[in-house]
Structure 1
Amino acid sequence: MKVAVTGATGFVGSRLVPCLVEAGHSVLVLSRSPHKAQTLFAPQGAAVTVVGYQPTQAGDWQQSLGGCGGVINLAGDPIADSRWTTAKKQQILQSRLLGTQRLVEAIAQASPPPPVLVSASAIGFYGSSETATFHETSASGSDFLAEVCRGWEQAAEAATAQGIRVALVRIGIVVGPGGGAIEKMLLPFRLFGGGPLGTGQQWFSWIHRDDLVQLLMRALTDDQWEGVYNGTAPNPVRMQELCEVLGRVIRRPSWLPVPEFALELLLGEGAQVVLQGQQVLPTRTLSTGFEFQYPQLEQALGQFLQP
């Protein structure tokens, strides 16, 4: 079938699109950077069509969804790449809220409309805790990221009024080759200066990118998938353990902690993304019979990291 994908040039989307093509689908990429997308997906040839768009604005791009068999929505401004100024927080919120609203409008206007929307959310929905365990039925937190996720999900769920099946995937910290949080941690480790961020006791709920891609594809094609699913591996770890595993995999020490104040100077309020965490389990995801290829962190990191 023809699948529309937003956020396709990001860390997850850039792997998802080739996998969709390999599975026999054609892909409509909606991108703010069409030239970048065309270059990135050139190896997929005619199976990928790129349409330029501004995700928070209505436009001609909305007419392109007609005849699509499904939509996967991954678009959103990066969360942990800079300080959370007032303007940055507004970008984080509006890129997800308005972007999803415009996408749902396009789905409603399409002829015929795509029957399914798989929309990303994040485990930030739950807030942070060093002691609690969160499942898909757990209540939302009260901080900024929880607010963002609630609005993001509500915008996607509005498609159900049009008879669209909506699956929401609350994504954890994605690990894989060439990007993500692990890539940012590698340099100090390789220079023999790596270690835990902050106290080391915060939870790190993660998922290998390949598992997340398969989960998104399952949500797209399985009519039984509807509602919320946690996109996290079944074995979260604390930051201290993450750093010990990372050190073992690349054969480097992991004893030098990064103090909280250093991250707060760099990222401001955004430092909470790495200084605070949550233990999230994919309870409902596992109940569907979904099998993780990389359920253990050391196995996941070893797949793409070399000593």
Structure 2
Amino acid sequence: MKILVTGATGLIGKALLPHLNHDEITVISRDPARAYQLLGHHINALNSLESLPNLDQFDAVINLAGESIIGKRWSEQQKHIIEDSRWNITQQLVDKIKTSDTPPQTFISGSAVGIYGNQHDKTIDESFTIEPNNTDFSQQVCSRWEQIALEAQSDQTRVCLLRTGIVIAKQGGALAKMLLPYQFGVGGPIGDGQQYFPWIQLQDMVRGILFLLNNSDTQGPYNMTAPNPITNRAFSAALASTLHRPHLLFTPAWVLKCALGESSQLLLDGQRALPNKLQAAGFNFSFPCIEQALKQTLCD
């Protein structure tokens, strides 16, 4: 299979590509030399999509590109960076798919559970009716991101959307940022800890993408989240237990709001998102429970 991948040097991309060794892979990277160094020389690395007049040569496109949404305050400049890093390349891919005579059969494009907004303890799956919230930046980003990607849908191309939760991985992502205080025994719940924490272990994330890639009947949005979402308090306790550290402290909401500003909503809001559609299609999770996922990630 000939596959075009964006965001290949990110957390998920680096974990995914070794599973595509038997395929012919082209990646889009601003730094092809770094891409070759990280991913190997069996790939073809391009510094932009401009060298491709269309995508006739590809069987599938996997779009994982996007500036990290967590870790920096959401200044107006940072918001534009986050938006442009998702919307622009997705629009470019869609435009090239639409101008192809024999377009890729599959377009898998990123999104996030942030599209649902803050749903407190309400259980939600892909059938949930999303109500737009003009004050919720992450929802606006994901909503527009998905709208652009769905423009590629046709009789020749199916579109799958990855509504991803918090990816549990030691080598990057949100967990890597959380580890240090827990390792020193000062980790704990955020705010009241009752917000739901939709998560997925990195291996299951990769397996889920491969499942969608190889199952031609799948299309539309999929919650890439484990089937057992838990509250932030329960996650915090499980993490402390896995590391054999105390679980006594907590971070007040006001501290986060002062430190992170508007972006603190990513940690204070929650989505009790279930992967019902993915499971109905036949996908089985290797790590359905957080204790098992953390042990595999941190102890093996």
Runs of 4+ in 1 over 6 A off after TM superposition: none
Identity %: 39
Q: Which one-letter code corresponds to 2:128 in the other structure?
A: S
Match of 1:87 in 2: 77
Match of 1:179 in 2: 172
Match of 2:28 in 1: 30
Aligned length: 297
1:61-120 Cα offsets, whole Å, 9 max, x none, are: x33733111000111111012000111112212221222111111223345321110111
Cα offset, 1:158, TM superposition: 0.4
CA contact (8 A) 2:196 2:272 kept: yes
Cα offset, 1:218, TM superposition: 1.2
Cα offset, 1:202, TM superposition: 0.6
Match of 2:139 in 1: 146
**Aligned 1:107-256 pairs, distance under 5 A:** 107-110=97-100, 112-141=102-131, 142=133, 143-161=136-154, 163-256=156-249
The verdict on how the C-alpha distance between 1:261 and 1:33 changes in structure 2, with shifts beyond 3 A counting, is: farther
Question: Is 1:59 matched with 2:57?
Answer: no
3-state SS, counterpart of residue 256 of structure 2:
helix
Q: Which stretch has the larger CA shift, 265-274 or 92-101?
A: 92-101
Q: Which stretch has the larger CA shift, 109-118 or 10-19?
A: 109-118
1:147-175 Cα offsets, whole Å, 9 max, x none, are: 11111111111011473111112111100
CA contact (8 A) 2:199 2:225 kept: yes
C-alpha separation between the residues in 1 aligned to 2:46 and 2:192?
A: 45
Provide the aligned C-alpha RMSD in A: 1.6
Q: Which one-letter code corresponds to 2:4 in the other structure?
A: A
C-alpha separation between the residues in 2 aligned to 1:220 and 1:91?
A: 29
CA contact (8 A) 1:82 1:266 kept: no
3-state SS, counterpart of residue 266 of structure 1:
helix
Match of 1:104 in 2: 94
CA contact (8 A) 1:167 1:227 kept: yes
CA contact (8 A) 2:108 2:213 kept: yes
C-alpha separation between the residues in 2 aligned to 1:3 and 1:10?
A: 17
The verdict on how the C-alpha distance between 1:253 and 1:64 changes in structure 2, with shifts beyond 3 A counting, is: farther
CA contact (8 A) 1:108 1:162 kept: no
Q: Which one-letter code corresponds to 1:29 in the other structure?
A: V
CA contact (8 A) 2:163 2:221 kept: yes
CA contact (8 A) 1:235 1:295 kept: yes
Q: Which stretch has the larger CA shift, 99-108 or 272-281?
A: 99-108
**What is the TM-score normalised by the length of structure 2?**
0.95
Question: Is 1:293 matched with 2:291?
Answer: no
Question: Is 1:69 matched with 2:59?
Answer: yes
Cα offset, 1:130, TM superposition: 1.8
Structure 2: gaps (5+ residues): none
**What is the TM-score normalised by the length of structure 1?**
0.93
C-alpha separation between the residues in 1 aligned to 2:74 and 2:20?
A: 34
The verdict on how the C-alpha distance between 1:63 and 1:18 changes in structure 2, with shifts beyond 3 A counting, is: farther
C-alpha separation between the residues in 2 aligned to 1:200 and 1:114?
A: 44
C-alpha separation between the residues in 2 aligned to 1:89 and 1:7?
A: 19
Match of 1:10 in 2: 10
1:15-53 Cα offsets, whole Å, 9 max, x none, are: 0111111xx2121111122222110012xx42x111112
Structure 1: gaps (5+ residues): none
CA contact (8 A) 1:140 1:146 kept: no
